[in-house]
Structure formats: structure tokens, C-alpha cells
Structure 1
Amino acid sequence: MGGLLWQVVRFEGCRMMRNFAPVFFALGFPVLLLCMFGGIYGNEPSSLFGGRGTVDMSVPAYLVMVVSVTGLMSFPLGLAEYRDRKVLKRFRATPLGAPALLIAQGLVNLVLSLLGAVLLVVTGRLLFGLHLPQSAGTAAANCGALVLATLATYAIGGVVAAIAPSERAAAAVANLVYFPMIFLSGATVPLQIFPPTMKVISDALPATYAVKLLQHTWLGSATNVALDVGVLLGLLVLAGAAAVRLFRWE
């Protein structure tokens, strides 16, 4: 069974590599943004960011963008496509069963997220002198925050896949969730330059708490850690339960 599952994972990986949009927006787009804004502003300490550099503040925020691409777009759209084309129904007759496709989709998208995160950090370090977490404990806390943010994001993606009646509807819903999430949460544009009204709007978006938590664990920037963790953990539990309850195999 393990060998069969591995073959499904390999197939999904090859299929992903031929899909330009998620690969570009997970691997290329965050690096392009980093190079553009890093090239303009550098990584010199800025009073706007509490004495931290633009690149130092941007990399943790862009990590949320990376997991949002795979969790809110690629993962739910892949599941919706397979359900719409009756692939999940046919897979239920195989020895592995339909859940194997969910596992394969999740693993491939998680690997893509990991590659995007590594590429982003390496680019920031080599080109702009990105400051890395100062201790093993800080690095572990940052990894834990990233894992929590990733799981919460994928839970939302699972709800999108569950409620969308068709592949086209899933694409529409995913776009409606994805674009406000990354542009109004600080994942692309720094929260520090938002006007007061926009900050109120950003507080309603889960990705905002992921950005704040990642910047805190990476840089020690001020935030309400209990609130950030509570929002993400609550979202993981509620959205995850809703996705499991509502998901349809056919």
C-alpha cells in the first residue's frame, strides 16, 4: 500500500510541476517581490519598522503568502477538479481509496510551500543580509508558528473545496478568499503603512494574525501572542471540522 501511495504522490508531484500558476506564485512571485522592494529600500534599520529592516520584516510576512498560494488556491482547486471530473469517485474503487488523493495533494502542496519558504529565506540572506532568528529556540518557535499558520490556511482551503459545487465555483470562491487575504493582511503590503480604516479591516482576516505571529517569533516585534495563536488554533479546529463534515466525494 505504501508503494502505491508513493506512486500517487509522485504522479501528483509531476502534475504540479506542469501547472505554471501555483509553482510560479509559490516559488517565484514572493522572491520577485522581495528583490524589488529589497532593491529599492535595502535592509537598513527603519523607524517605520521599529528599527528593523524592510527585508527582515518582509520575509516572515511573505511566508504567509507562500502558504496561502498552496493552501487557499492549489490545494482546494485540485480537490474540486478531481471531484468535478469524477476522479475521486473512481479512486474509491481502488485498493488505496479516494483519501489517497487527498493525502497526495496535501503532501505535494506542503512540499511546494517548503521549497518556496526555503527559496525566499535563502534569497533574503544572500542578497540582502536577512537577519535570521538569533537562537535555536527562536527558530523553533518560528517553525511552530509557520506550521500553525499553514494548517489553519489548509483548513480554510478544505472548506473552499467542500462547499464549492463545481470546479469553476471553487476557483471563484478561492479567488475571493485568497486576494483579500494576502493584500489586506500585511502578507504583501506592510501593516505599518495601512491607514486606520484598513487596519480595522485587516483585523478581520486570519492571515493578519499569521503575519504578526511570524514576525514576532522571527524578530521579536510586538504583538498579542495569545490572540494570534488563539485565532489560528480556533480557525484550524473550526474550519477543519467544517471541511471534514461538508466535504463530498462526488
Structure 2
Amino acid sequence: MTATTAPPAGTGSPAARLPGAWRLGLRRGALELRQFFRQRDQVVFTFAFPVVFLFLFASIFSGELRGAGVSASQLYVPGMMAAGIMSTSFQSLGISIAIERDERVLRRLRGTPMPPAAYFLGKIWLVLVTGLLETAILLGVGTTLYDVDLPSDAGRWFHFGWIFLLGMTACALLGIAISSVPRSGRSASSVVVLPFLVLQFVSGVYISIDTVPDRLVDIAALFPLKWMCQGLRGVFLPESARVLEQAGSWEFGRIALVLAAWCVGGLLLCLLTFRWKSRRDA
């Protein structure tokens, strides 16, 4: 009978020794956050951009909105919060991933034993943390300077929670998908920023949604930003402000369906379009 020799302690199959995708994703997320906060100019401009625009538009348009029971400056706060969420997810990922692909960072990562899911989990942790910080800053500015009241009931905070999570997820997936559109890292900013800027004007961020032409509102309704703005207005503005909406109500159920649909659609777009190599390396 042949004796079976046990493997030395601490050894095993390579799969058993490697951490799982979730654990690697946490580590990758910590790395992404360290890299982000080390770039002080990027940190300052990322968090200051929507705050500066809030100051600017709230100073120019500060009058009371007739029949809505809110001022124009109060109306800008939830819109800027929604834009901040999309900025830290859609815009950030769309540009950064395109640059990493162009610099062959993705190609090198794909050649390592790291599961592909860990890379995307790291990006999700990055946008989740930066999105929360961006939202907290804007909410702090809105409550201290523009008399925006925090919700007093758990129901509205629940609405805020799922709007934030669904909106962040949908925009992050769209950012990953659009990162494959630029032909190079140099053109990524132009390709990503232009549609984002247009959506902000037609979705009720810079212009009150009741003054945007219906045709443009219908176009905006095809994308997540309009519904995020509407949902956050429903969370942080009084019920009297519903008169500004097309339907005369906050439509939380419809908002949930649209954002959830974009989460599914964004995932499908990522699966169909994402590339680890740039076009010149294909």
C-alpha cells in the first residue's frame, strides 16, 4: 500500500490561496480612495465644483417661486445634489477608466490573477464614498445657507436612501459603459462631459423644470438625472413644490422603476461594450 504524503502546512491549490473577489474589491477600493485623496487638486475641484455652481445660481436666481412655497435657491440644492451624484459616478468613471485603458493599466490588470469583478468593486467603493461626501457637503451648504429643511420623518429618509443607491448605481454603470466610447484617453473628457452638461440643463439642475420646454423634458426623462432631481426635490422640498413637476406629484414609484431599469440596462451595456484593451491594442 502506498502512503499518501500530506502537503506541507500553508500550501494548497492556487484558488484556495487567493482571496475572493469581494475581499480583493475592498482592497482595490481602498487603493482607489488613497490614490484619489492624494491628488489634492482633483479632490478640491471634485467637491468644490457643484458647491461653486450652487452659490452662483442661487445668488443670481434667489427670488420666491410663485405658488411653490420655495425660493429658487432652495430649488437648486436637490438638483445640485443629483448632479453631484452623477458627477462622482458617471463622469468620474467614464473619464478615469478611459484613461486607464489608454495607458494600458486595464490590460496589465487583466493579466493578473485578480478577478475582473474586483476591479469594478473597487471603482464602486470609490464612487460610493466620494458620492456620499459630495452629497453631505451640498446638504450642509443647503441647510445652513439656503434654509433647506432636513426631512423629519423616516419615510423621506428611506426615499433618499434608495434614490441615492439606485441613482449612483445606474450612473456608475453608464460611466463604465461610456468609457469605451472615446478613442483615446485625451478625448475622454470631451466625450463624457458634453452629454452630462446637456442633461443638467434639461433635467432641472440649472433651470427650474417647469420652465424647460416639454420636448426637452421628454428627452431628459429617458435618462436617470431627471428622475434623481425629481426624487431629491420630493425628499427635501415641501409638498407645495409639487406644482413645479409635470405630473404635479413626486412620482416616487415611477422614479424607482426608471432608476432600477437603468441599473439593469446599464449592466447590459457594460457587458456588451466594455473592453480591457484600447482600440490600437485590439
TM-score (norm: length of structure 1): 0.84
1:224 aligned to 2:242?
no
| Structure 2 unaligned spans of 5+ | 1-18, 243-248, 278-282
Secondary structure of the residue aligned to 2:180 is helix
In structure 2, give the amino acid aligned to 1:13: L
C-alpha contact 1:162 1:243 (8 A) present in aligned 2: no
Q: Distance in 2 between matches of 1:240 and 1:97?
A: 17
Note the C-alpha offset of 1:229.
2.5
Q: Distance in 2 between matches of 1:121 and 1:215?
A: 12
Note the C-alpha offset of 1:149.
1.4
1:124 aligned to 2:151?
no
1:246 aligned to 2:264?
no
CA deviation vs aligned residue, 1:174-193 (integer Å, no higher than 9, x gap) = 12321112222112222133
1:46 aligned to 2:65?
yes
1:20 aligned to 2:41?
yes
Q: Distance in 2 between matches of 1:236 and 1:127?
A: 34
Q: Pick one of 195, 208, 212 that aligns with 1:194.
A: 212
Q: Distance in 2 between matches of 1:144 and 1:150?
A: 10
Note the C-alpha offset of 1:25.
5.0
Match of 2:13 in 1: none
Q: Distance in 1 between matches of 2:65 and 2:189?
A: 39
C-alpha contact 1:55 1:128 (8 A) present in aligned 2: yes
In structure 2, give the amino acid aligned to 1:161: S
Note the C-alpha offset of 1:16.
1.8
Identity %: 23
CA deviation vs aligned residue, 1:144-171 (integer Å, no higher than 9, x gap) = 1121111111121121023444323433
In structure 2, give the amino acid aligned to 1:140: F
Secondary structure of the residue aligned to 1:134 is coil
In structure 1, give the amino acid aligned to 2:36: M
Secondary structure of the residue aligned to 2:30 is helix
Structure 1 residues 197 and 6: CA distance shift in structure 2, 3 A:
closer
Note the C-alpha offset of 1:197.
4.8
Q: Distance in 2 between matches of 1:115 and 1:235?
A: 23
Note the C-alpha offset of 1:32.
1.9
Structure 1 residues 170 and 19: CA distance shift in structure 2, 3 A:
farther
1:94 aligned to 2:109?
no
| Structure 1 unaligned spans of 5+ | none
Q: Distance in 1 between matches of 2:192 and 2:122?
A: 20
In structure 2, give the amino acid aligned to 1:246: T
Match of 1:236 in 2: 263
Identify the range of structure 1 (223-232 vs 154-163) with the bigger mean alpha-carbon deviation. Answer: 223-232
Q: Distance in 2 between matches of 1:197 and 1:164?
A: 29
Note the C-alpha offset of 1:28.
0.9
Note the C-alpha offset of 1:172.
3.2
- How many residue pairs get aligned? The number is 247
Note the C-alpha offset of 1:231.
2.1
C-alpha contact 2:77 2:142 (8 A) present in aligned 1: yes
C-alpha contact 1:75 1:106 (8 A) present in aligned 2: no
C-alpha contact 1:164 1:170 (8 A) present in aligned 2: yes
Structure exhibiting the larger radius of gyration computed from Cα positions: 2
Identify the range of structure 1 (88-97 vs 150-159) with the bigger mean alpha-carbon deviation. Answer: 88-97
Q: Distance in 2 between matches of 1:198 and 1:4?
A: 43
Note the C-alpha offset of 1:5.
5.1
Matches within 5 A, 1:156-235: 156-219=174-237, 220=239, 221=242, 222-235=249-262
Q: Distance in 2 between matches of 1:168 and 1:242?
A: 23
Match of 1:30 in 2: 50
Note the C-alpha offset of 1:127.
2.2
Note the C-alpha offset of 1:30.
1.8
C-alpha contact 1:159 1:242 (8 A) present in aligned 2: yes
CA deviation vs aligned residue, 1:5-42 (integer Å, no higher than 9, x gap) = 55543332232231635x34541122223333444555
Q: Distance in 2 between matches of 1:243 and 1:145?
A: 21
C-alpha contact 1:46 1:52 (8 A) present in aligned 2: yes
